[in-house]
Amino acid sequence: MDVARVAEALRSMGVGTVREQEPLSRHTSFRIGGPASVFVDPDHLDGVVKVLDWVRDQGLPYFIIGQGTNILVSDRGVEAVVISTVRGLRDFRVEPPVITAGSGVLLTKLCRLAEKAGLTGLEFAISIPGTLGGALVMNAGAHGGEMVEVVESVLVWDAVKGVHRIDAAEAQFQYRQSRFMKNPWIALEAVLRLKPGDPAETREKMRHNMEYRKKSQPVGEPNAGSIFKNPLPHYAGRLIEQIGAKGWREGDAMVSDLHANFIVNAGSATARDVLELMRRIRRTVYRETGIVLKPEVRWIGPGEGGAEATWENLWYAEGGGLTEP
Ligand SMILES: Cc1cc2nc3c(=O)[nH]c(=O)nc-3n(C[C@H](O)[C@H](O)[C@H](O)COP(=O)(O)OP(=O)(O)OC[C@H]3O[C@@H](n4cnc5c(N)ncnc54)[C@H](O)[C@@H]3O)c2cc1C
């Protein structure tokens, strides 16, 4: 990619900030990641759509980023136009029992809006970091709730149809996955349908969920949330704890002492350190239990074409593979 030419063309659109070779470690909760060739931070919805249309027309690789709380970015970075949603897609409307919000709005903000409007249904999300868009992609969930329970429809952009609306069923939400992961849909805005509730009860549930989170997860250290999905009916954290992996370390990547399914960046960890540690965990859990752990965090880096396929490529290409049952 001719980085200077692409950046110049994007600047001339006047849609927001454009940076070249922007370190993605600045935009991920892991504080890990090499540079994005071009990083665009549009300041309104039309700007986001304009950039998406342009990168499609130019045939350029692109990647959308929210708060970067669920990604592991390669140390080599990404040769792509990385488009941020946090500034451009932050509008919202509260029309009880419905909240319509841009996909760059933080989940915690949505929870507070719901609480203020006397609405219930989003209490599960109070302690999940990240944006609404990231939460839709992963069907984020916690404390027995998940996004699928509240999403009514999503305004999306795709390379063929441009901007259009899909209903929740089309997104095929399942446990920590959705069609967003396989389909090049970009979520622009979502309609969430909640229910009238008792504000005091809602507040209490949120307080309880936040308290629980503080006690059970390393919230103060850089991390990307759960590293592996739960291989239901088992819990990844329990399996990893059983193999004695708490405190295991590769470089500055370390298995959290508080929650075994969290890897923390204990200083200047690299993506390679995290990958090494993930491989070791995955191999040992498989050897001892016969269960194959699948990553929940998404890999962003060279060679990807879909998170699942990418992980499989990484396991094998870099010598960390195992025989799948
Ligand atoms: C401490 C901690 C605790 C966590 N706890 C939980 C938890 O309890 N439950 C849970 O489910 N998750 C949890 N997570 C993971 C993460 O917070 C969620 O998955 C969150 O929804 C990701 O949002 P994000 O904006 O950070 O997405 P990002 O990390 O920026 O992006 C994640 C993926 O979504 C894509 N994406 C982002 N925005 C859009 C969009 N608008 N349209 C299309 N694709 C998009 C990106 O391309 C990327 O592939 C936790 C993370 C941390 C750090």
Q: What is the CATH number of domain 236-317?
A: 3.90.78.10
pLDDT tens figures, 237-265: 999 999 999 999 999 999 999 999 999 99
Task: With cut-offs at 50, 70 and 90, classify the pLDDT of residue 76.
Answer: confident
| Residues in Cβ contact with 233 at an 8 Å cutoff, skipping those fewer than 6 apart | none
What pLDDT sits at residue 304? Answer: 38
Ligand 1 atom closest to Cα of 65?
A: 30
Long-range CB contacts for residues 232-236, cutoff 8 Å, separation at least 24: 232/175, 234/291, 235/261, 236/260, 236/261, 236/293
What pLDDT sits at residue 184? Answer: 81
Q: For residues 287 and 29, give the distance between their C-alpha atoms in angstroms, rounded to a whole number.
A: 31
Task: With cut-offs at 50, 70 and 90, classify the pLDDT of residue 311.
Answer: low
Active site residues: 176, 226, 296
What pLDDT sits at residue 132? Answer: 98
Same fold, 92-201 and 236-317: no
Q: Where exactly are the structural domains of the chain?
A: 3-84, 92-201, 236-317
Which whole number is the average pLDDT over 32-51?
96
Pocket of ligand 1 (CB under 6 A): 29, 63-71, 85, 103, 128-131, 133-135, 137-138, 140-142, 180, 186-187, 217, 219, 223-225, 298
What pLDDT sits at residue 181? Answer: 84
Which whole number is the average pLDDT over 169-174?
94
Rounded to the nearest whole angstrom, what is the distance from the C-alpha of residue 133 to the centroid of ligand 1? Answer: 8
What pLDDT sits at residue 182? Answer: 80
Asked whether the predicted pLDDT for residue 133 surpasses 70, the reply is yes
Rounded to the nearest whole angstrom, what is the distance from the C-alpha of residue 47 to the centroid of ligand 1? Answer: 22
| Residues in Cβ contact with 287 at an 8 Å cutoff, skipping those fewer than 6 apart | none
Rounded to the nearest whole angstrom, what is the distance from the C-alpha of residue 117 to the centroid of ligand 1? Answer: 25
Asked whether the predicted pLDDT for residue 308 surpasses 50, the reply is no
Q: What is the CATH number of domain 92-201?
A: 3.30.465.10
pLDDT tens figures, 94-113: 999 999 999 999 999 999 99
Q: For residues 251 and 269, give the distance between their C-alpha atoms in angstroms, rounded to a whole number.
A: 6
Asked whether the predicted pLDDT for residue 17 surpasses 50, the reply is yes
Among positive and negative, which fits the CA dihedral 14, 19, 20, 21?
negative
Pocket test for ligand 1, best of 67, 69, 216 (most atoms within 8 A of CB): 69
Rounded to the nearest whole angstrom, what is the distance from the C-alpha of residue 325 to the centroid of ligand 1? Answer: 29
On whether the CB atoms of residues 70 and 13 are closer than 8 A, the answer is no
Ligand 1 atom closest to Cα of 156?
A: 42
Q: For residues 4 and 21, give the distance between their C-alpha atoms in angstroms, rounded to a whole number.
A: 10
Ligand 1 atom closest to Cα of 298?
A: 49
Residues of the chain with pLDDT > 70: what percent? 93
Residue 276 CB neighbour total at 10 angstroms: 17
Task: With cut-offs at 50, 70 and 90, classify the pLDDT of residue 325.
Answer: very low
- 42: buried, middle or exposed (CB in 10 Å: 19+, 13-18, 0-12)? buried
Task: With cut-offs at 50, 70 and 90, classify the pLDDT of residue 315.
Answer: low
Question: In degrees to the nearest 10, what's the CA dihedral of 275, 278, 282, 288?
Answer: 130
Ligand 1 atom closest to Cα of 218?
A: 1
Which whole number is the average pLDDT over 56-67?
93
Instruction: Please state which of the four CATH numbers 3.30.43.10, 3.30.310.50, 1.10.1240.10, 3.30.300.20 is assigned to the domain occupying 3-84.
Output: 3.30.43.10
For residues 163-186, one letter each, b for 16 or more C-beta atoms within 10 angstroms of the residue's C-beta and e for the rest, the string is eeebebeebebeebbbebbeeebb
Identity of the residue numbered 318:
E
User: Nearest CA to 193 among 168, 166, 170, 176?
Assistant: 168
On whether the CB atoms of residues 161 and 154 are closer than 8 A, the answer is no
What pLDDT sits at residue 302? Answer: 66
Asked whether the predicted pLDDT for residue 213 surpasses 70, the reply is yes
Asked whether the predicted pLDDT for residue 47 surpasses 90, the reply is yes
Asked whether the predicted pLDDT for residue 316 surpasses 60, the reply is no
- Here the tokens at position 246 are 């708490």
Identity of the residue numbered 306:
G
Residue 267 CB neighbour total at 10 angstroms: 12
pLDDT tens figures, 216-238: 889 889 999 999 999 989 999 99
